[in-house]
A and B are shown apart, each in its own frame.
Chain A
Amino acid sequence: MERRGFVARVLRNGTVRAALVLAVFLIAWSVLQLGGLSVFLINSWLLLSLPLVLAASGVTLVIFTGEFDLSAAGVVAVTNVLMATWLSELGWLGLPLAVLVGAVVGLFNGFLVVVMRLPAIAVTLATFIILGGLALVILPTPGGRIDPGIIDFFTGQLVVPRSIIFLMVIALLWLLYRNTRMGVHAYGVGQDAEALRLSGVAVDRVKFGVFALAGTLYGLAGAVLAAVVQTGDATIGSSYLLATFAAVAIGGAAFTGGSGSVLGTMLGALTLTVIPKVLFVLGISGWVQRVFEGMLIIAAVLVGAVATQSEQRKVQAVKTTPKVEAPTVSVSGGERP
């Protein structure tokens, strides 16, 4: 067994990597921004991150179980539009209703994937298209009106800007969820669903629950997005398809499931919203930003993949060496979801 330095061991942790990436961009931003960073600038950044943090956290929960969910962008689009149209006259009631819409979509996804046994990628791609289309039907051109009470609730001040409080609440909820029965089982499903099934865990129920929970988070994300941008826009959600998975990639969760942390994803989402600000103060035009973001995502996934691959190789070596004489042909490890 080779010995590893402290730095290498720390860098193996995806959340730490994500924190480092975010730190680099934050330092760059604070140095480059004329007049330095103000509470106002930081608050607007955190506020804009909040919906992405919520949506990407939902995606992360699904990825832990080894499945994929592409429907986040669709749910965000629909609930965002609903908040600006049908739900805007209901006041407070609009918020739980929007969240409910998300939960229903999550249940629908869960039903198709768990009960009907259809491939999650294709199913959630279909729900993404359907919801995106519905959002366009409900509100063809950007506009509408968001209830001022809801805007105040998310954007207001409570000693510190509320965005900070909300982010801390999400992190806290994650730490609690991680240790619940469902949270632990969800990790296990991603690592070895068969072993978990044999030990008596209702794997299907866990997956179903995770899809529903993720849908709920997307619904909330759409409502928060409506409050933050203070308008309804059916196309605003489409950027979330790439952004949610980018946040997961930067956050260091393995796309094969079973490892990672929502904290990492939160840091990834914060990084994604700070990048445009850094590029803006650098005077870099929009197309470079797109190229840069794409490359950053690929780089983040690469780093994560290399880290998990070497980890898996280590585990496999430990597992197989005592039994197999010549472990040259590896049968497992070729399948990919």
Chain B
Amino acid sequence: MTLTPTESLATISRERLSVWSSPGVARPITLILLAVVALFAGRLFSAGLPSWTAAEAILTQSLFVAVLAFGQGLIMLIGGLDLSIPGVVALSATIVALSTSVYGVETWLAVLLALIASALVGLLDGYLISRFKIPAFIVTLAMGGILIGLTIGFTFGRQAPSAPPILIELFSGSGKIFGIGIPIVVFLIVGALGYVIQARSRFGRSVHLFGSSPAAARIAGMPVRRIEVSVYVVGALASGVGGIMLLGFSGNARLSLGDAWLMPAIAAVLVGGTIIGSGFGFWQSTLMATVLLTTITVVIGATGLSQGWKDVLYGVIILIALSFMRRDGGALKRVFAGLRKTQERPAVQSAP
């Protein structure tokens, strides 16, 4: 479609006017409003629910989901799926806990070691996936199994080593800056950092382009192999960071440390509206989706729901998100469009 200058100007101004309905703005706002509604609806299940303590707990737990969902989101943007999160989380947490508590390594060095190990895992994942065109979920699934095996090997079946005190102070929620829990501050930092990396940096933009069309990215002369590999490195690094934070949160490095956080991370990306393998997705939406999902978990948790029902709930949420969060803005946008009775621009093509 070719536009004359005036026409294109008109298109642009119409786009400007509709900024509030653009998915990068409307969706995160909708999601956070839903989270607030869910928190107040928690009143139905528990008398003490809409409270500051609950809100703090929700934001604290959202931090871990957000960190893991950041890596998962980038990987899903380019059509992959990272099932090695529990493995990388266990590995990095065990490296930190074991080297500080048993071998007396300084905490900063232990953290550095864990991050290097995570990055190497991502490098290997990314190499195998991009070089041999193997489905990402199989490589990461097998890699997760290997990592759990290696972690058992490291610890020799010893009792789970405990976290260094500084990490407990930072991530258990006991430490505070200006009266705000440290995890909440970190959550805000992670949110800002993630936005800069995914939406504003050269790397983030090349990931979006590569995700929307690897062929176009290659023809445009982009180093596609390097982009794809670095996505998996960044993804594994995010899991590694998540592992270190979860170590501080839970106090010791259990093997199952990351098990419960894989599905929330995937669900957050999908609820945030990222479409697998399309290059379409917004970090701010994913971030708000982590808050919404954690709120739902906390509210439901107040009813004393068993793990089985929680799994069912997450699966249903993923299915609902998949059905409604489409590229054209999904059900919500269609409703708004109907209310305003405006002439929409030509329909954006939905995901293939």
The residues of A with any CB-CB pair to B shorter than 8 Å are 68, 70, 112, 116-119, 121-123, 125-137, 140, 234, 241-242, 245-246, 249, 255-256, 286-291, 293-295, 297-298, 301-302, 305-306, 309, 329, 331-332, 334-337
Contact = CB atoms under 8 A, between A and B. Distances in A.
B10 interface: no
Contacts of B150: 287, 291
B17 to A, nearest CB: 31
B57 interface: no
Nearest to A329: B219
Contacts of B143: 294, 298
B309 A126 contact: no
B79 interface: yes
B270 to A, nearest CB: 6
Interface stretch (B111-119, B174-182, B197-205, B318-326): B318-326
A130 B311 contact: yes
7 contacts: A116-B323, A122-B270, A122-B276, A130-B312, A133-B315, A249-B138, A255-B138
A286 B255 CA distance: 14
B152 A290 contact: yes
B308 A137 contact: yes
A112 B318 CA distance: 12
Nearest to B130: A336
A245 B138 contact: yes
A286 B145 CA distance: 12
B322 A334 contact: no
Contacts of B148: 290
Contacts of A301: 132, 134, 138-139, 142
A129 B263 contact: yes
Given A242-B141, A290-B149, A302-B134, A119 B306 contact: no
A136 to B, nearest CB: 3
B133 interface: yes
Given A129-B312, A133-B308, 16 more contacts: A68-B135, A119-B275, A126-B318, A129-B311, A129-B318, A133-B310, A133-B312, A135-B308, A136-B308, A137-B308, A291-B150, A294-B143, A295-B142, A298-B142, A298-B143, A334-B214
Most buried by B among A129, A130, A329: A129
B316 A130 contact: yes
Contacts of B132: 301-302, 305-306, 309
Most buried by B among A287, A288, A337: A287
A293 B138 CA distance: 13
Interface residues of B, number: 49
Contact of A335 (B137, B214, B306): B214
A287 B153 contact: yes
Nearest to A297: B142
Nearest to A291: B149
Nearest to B141: A242
B314 interface: yes
Given A133-B315, A288-B149, A297 B138 contact: yes
Contacts of A245: 138, 141
B16 interface: no
Contacts of A246: 142
Contacts of B337: none
A118 B311 contact: no
B312 A286 contact: no
Q: List the 10 closest A-B pairs by CB distance, nearest first.
A: A133-B311, A290-B149, A136-B308, A130-B315, A294-B146, A129-B315, A287-B152, A137-B308, A133-B312, A291-B149
Contacts of B275: 119
B215 A136 contact: no
Contacts of A68: 135, 137
A55 to B, nearest CB: 15
B149 A133 contact: no
